[in-house]
Chain A
Amino acid sequence: MTLQEVTRPEPAQDLGLEEELEALALARLAAAGDLQATARLLRLVVPVVTRSVRLVLGPDRPDAEDVVQQTLLAFVQALAGFRGDCHPAGFASRIAVNLSLTARRKQRELRLTFFDPSALVDRSTLWGTEATDHELAIYRRRFLHDLLVRLPVEQAEVLSLHVIVGHSLSEIAAAMSTPVGTVKSRLRLAKEGLRRYLETDHAFGEGRA
């Protein structure tokens, strides 16, 4: 656990009923073609979408804004099939994660980033001397992003939604219209993949459980 400035979200005892009801009603109006409701709904989900895209894609990605736009368009077009099982923002974040993972996979060279020789040199230096929390966070992020393009899509999607976006398993199940058991299973498999990955990465200090 790092000591960096942890500011976790507020407690989730309450589900934000009023907001969710409003959002669901907006989604219904937007699906019916109400442009003003669509604008309000988009304004409601765009922070979640932007955050999801930027966190999954990683920093300094020039295509981040394009992926956000694609996500918003896909979200509006998918509204008619949205069953209201979850908050529309959850539905939108699932699309955002999906498209972001696709964008990452399209750029295959990114898979090699983590194993770039210079990066390995940097990393060994880092771990051998004074690593600040910030640096550790950067390496964790790179490690996680590299893992995401190696995992099967379904597992990467669940892992992203759970770890990066911060959804609970039940929220993910609702957003994906999938049983919670399936989500748990995918997360477990993703963790097994991560364990193998950690164990084969000898330079990574946390690699030995």
Chain B
Amino acid sequence: MTARKEHPDELIHRARRGGSLSPRERSLVDRHLRLCAVCRFLEQAARDADCEGLAVLDGIDLDAMVAKTIESLPGPDAWNGRGAAPGRGGGRFSSRVAVRASTGFAVLLLFGGAAMAAFVVARRAPALPEKPAVAVGATATPPRLRRAVTRPVGVTPPNATAPAPTSDDPVEAPAPQSPPASSRVVALRSRATAATSATAATLQPTAAELFVEASQARRDGRTAEATARYGLLWTRFPTSEEARASRAIVGRWLLDRGAYGDAVSAFHDYLRVSSGGVLEEEVLVGLATALERQGRGAQAAATWQQLLDDHPSTAHASRARIHLGRLRTAGSQEDLRP
């Protein structure tokens, strides 16, 4: 099997999520991404979605959306014990419930008389759902949970430990007549207990946390804080995926800010630490651009050429050729040729 035919999907996904990979696994992922245009495209698309996913919830009133859904729900009896297939049948089922309810009501009026109707109403009243005692917004999940739900499923903040249950937490109260816990839930519970006993070696931020904090500070324009966070990341976790990727990101950041010399240093750092890494194409583009803007035409042309030589199918090929042509016609041919 070639690297193109056998896609290491799990490894690529783990790398994207910042999970740990052995050097061999890392090498396999990097090699596959270099060779397989499909996986490279999907990896780029996934990272695009990760970036976009952070902003996609901006300006949306999620509480209002929940309240609207709650209001439009049929009574709990309507779905209790009769799960509709996901994405289908909900409307038809609601209609059936409405028809049955109205038919029953007519029968009651016809034969039962006022006394029976009153009896039925009195009997059904407690079963009707009440609006939550507090507004939906007020029932929002604790901050820890809010953080959790903004991540993809199954992703947990590092250092998470199981907090002590509170007495008023309905989650901890066993549901009346609830089915016995499945083996999966039992296993989860035992693992949760084990997690609780883990200590707090975990108070120090992880590489992922530092990366997120630095990125946020950078986006917010808090340059000093971003620089400090990136520095901490590189010092504490020099071999982490976050540290490697952040060198490329910082290089691009510096390039955009006009700090061409520093950008060149950052890009060189990336190439030194992550030679052959998945960001290499873009780092070479950034490096060549920074060199060109510094007026170092010969080195810029050499970098563009390196990009074309090492990555002949790169998306930046046409761009590289344009720059190469421009540099060559600028009159420094003698410096441009290897």
Contacts and interface: CB of A to CB of B under 8 A. Distances in A.
B44 interface: yes
Contact of B148 (A16, A80, A127): A16
Contacts of A188: 7
B62 A43 contact: yes
Interface string B159-196: 01011000001111001111100101100110110010
Contacts of A17: 156, 162, 188-189, 191-192, 195
B65 A128 contact: no
A121 interface: no
Main secondary structure of the interface of B (DSSP, over half): helix
B180 to A, nearest CB: 11
A5 B129 contact: no
A5 B209 CA distance: 15
Given A1-B279, A3-B282, A46-B62, A14 B139 contact: no
A79 B53 contact: no
Nearest to B194: A17
A6 B154 contact: no
A74 interface: yes
Given A25-B171, A69-B65, A167-B153, A187 B9 contact: yes
A3 B151 CA distance: 22
Interface in A1-48: 1-22, 24-26, 28-29, 31-40, 42-48
Interface string B279-305: 101110110000000000000000000
Interface in B50-105: 50-54, 56-57, 60, 62-63, 65-70, 72-73, 75-77, 79-90, 93
B227 to A, nearest CB: 16
Nearest to B160: A14
Contact of A85 (B73, B129, B154, B184): B184
Nearest to A35: B129
Contacts of B39: 191
A171 B152 CA distance: 10
A51 B152 CA distance: 10
19 contacts: A6-B215, A8-B16, A9-B50, A10-B206, A12-B156, A19-B148, A21-B171, A22-B171, A28-B178, A29-B175, A31-B83, A32-B178, A33-B75, A38-B73, A70-B87, A77-B93, A79-B79, A159-B42, A194-B41
